[in-house]
Amino acid sequence: MTLHLYNTLTRAKEAFVPLRPDAVGLYVCGPTVYDFAHIGNARPVVVFDVLYRLMKRLFSGVTYVRNITDVDDKIIAASQKSGEPIDVITARTAAAFHDDMDALGALPPTIEPRATAHIAQMIVLIEALIAKGHAYAPGDGHVLFHVPSMADYGQLSRLDRREVIEGARVEVAGYKKDPADFVLWKPSTDEQPGWPSPWGRGRPGWHIECSAMSGQYLGETFDIHGGGQDLIFPHHENEIAQSRCAHDTPMMARVWMHNGYLMVEGEKMSKSLGNFFTVRQLLADHPGEALRLTLLQTHYRQPLNWTADGVRQAKETLDRCYTALRAVADVKATVAEPPPAVLDALADDLNTPLAIAHLHEAVGTLNKAAGAEEKAALKGRLLAAGDVLGLLSQDPEAWFKWCPAAAASPDDAAIEALIVERREARKAKNFARADQIRDELKAQGILLEDGAGATTWRRG
RNA sequence: GGCGCGGUGGCAGAGUGGCUAUGCAGAGGCCUGCAAAGCCUUGUACGUCGGUUCGAUUCCGGCCCGCGCCUCCA
């Protein structure tokens, strides 16, 4: 099977051929840790988690690097506002990020480098750029990348340089030789975090950290670089400029992948509209797995419209999957490969909606299975299909018993006591009482289902 | 203005030059004490106007509508 990926650099879907099949490199821009991750931050994490899971099946070695940006002016601003020290903010926010992404079923990356631990590498890179005539230090503590020094700058975003400058929303700073030049290093005041450098005490610009860290862990040229569409310009364009010019290479990452934007109930997600959901808020009301599936129900390059109905639909899909798995809870699954259709869908530029359609088919065949051996085989297939998508790994009972932390739901023991009472009523043909118990529980969100042997329950 | 994306049945959402995914919702049936779940059957699609073609939802062009990016926002 050949993996095909859409490459922003060429604007085409291409067969993916790694530089080294035993050491495939994937770099994804990670969070700036100054606030809780919102659902828009979660989309690339979940999307590239699926890519990571798929590539681990296809190649013998995959290194997945996702950085943590822990030096940034937004962090400084947050610290000044709250009075909390920067390292406290970044440590707390990074921990929250890990918890949230774990709840979404995202595997940890192979390496998660922090910007502040790679200042020395950034300085080395900046010095190389100065030495090669691609950067200059005006003497006020800044170091800037000189965009006109790179003949083919702008290949990724395909923006006309002139238009970029005309459309710029920010005043051109006086220390720039060219309006398109961007900051590699900037001076820090005593209150701001800073590191000693050949240009005085300062801190790195935004783009240089990714060049430094991807170079260190994946090499000067590596396989795949991913992130949100909004990073294409200027962030990724400038990363490419820095890395290629510093290393004299024709290419930084060979494939650039970008996930689409996220809207909320049909509107652009923004703080001013008040439709800004953090993952943490959503996790209070929904299982993380349902949030993950919501993100995977739309192809990664399409705009994703986050709606309450979409989350509900994802939850129902998982209910259906776990219902099938619960029915074969006593069957030991055979170790199996995912259905080829699932892998084919994912190998075609991560077509997760199509893969999910085939997941439904795997559920259907499992539901229809007759013999124990067939059930074991089909259960194994369904679980394998879920695994490559990062779904269906929990115990069905745990799934059905989940309820929001704040919800006033009867406790499990009380429910089971009522089920016992109802069973006695049914035995005595007292169906009025049996139905009354079922109705009362239903009013509290508990659904009873009388199976062949026993009655099962779930929180709807 | 420049660059780019999209408009598919009640909803979500894939895909394809001819055989009309998938799930939910709807209708009928099997099963059930009745339900639920499951299974079976079933209806409604491809913004608009042209072009290419034996044939287009799928390719090409115009138009309409929606959305995004254009220096630090995933």
> Residue A217: pLDDT band by 50, 70, 90 thresholds?
very high
* Model confidence pLDDT, tens digit, residues A291-316: 999 999 999 998 888 999 899 999 99
- Nucleotides on strand B lying under 7 Å from protein C-beta: 1-6, 11-15, 21-24, 32-40, 67-74
Q: pLDDT digits over A155-172, tens only?
A: 898 876 655 554 444 445
Strand B at less than 7 A from CB of A11:
yes
A265: its two tokens: 């109930």
Helix A352-368 and helix A372-389, axial crossing angle in degrees, nearest 10: 160
Backbone dihedral angles phi then psi of residue A255, each to the nearest 5 degrees: -120, 130
Of A352, A322, A259, A292, which Cα lies nearest the Cα of A105?
A292
Least confident window among A99-108, A146-155, A159-168? A159-168
A165 beta carbon < 7 A from strand B?
yes
The reply to whether the predicted model has a pTM over 0.90 is yes
SS3 state at A62? strand
Q: Do A245 and A129 contact (CB within 8 A), yes or no? A: yes
Nearest to A226 by CA among A77, A398, A46: A46
For A270, phi and psi rounded to 5 degrees?
A: -155, 155
What pLDDT does A230 receive?
85
Residue A147: which of A184, A117, A103, A202 has the closest Cα?
A184
pLDDT digits (tens, 9 = 90+) for A339-384: 999 999 999 999 999 999 999 999 999 999 989 999 999 999 999 9
Residues 242-301/A with CB < 7 A to strand B: 259-263, 268-269, 297-299
- Residue A8's SS3 state is coil
A177 touches strand B (CB under 7 A): no
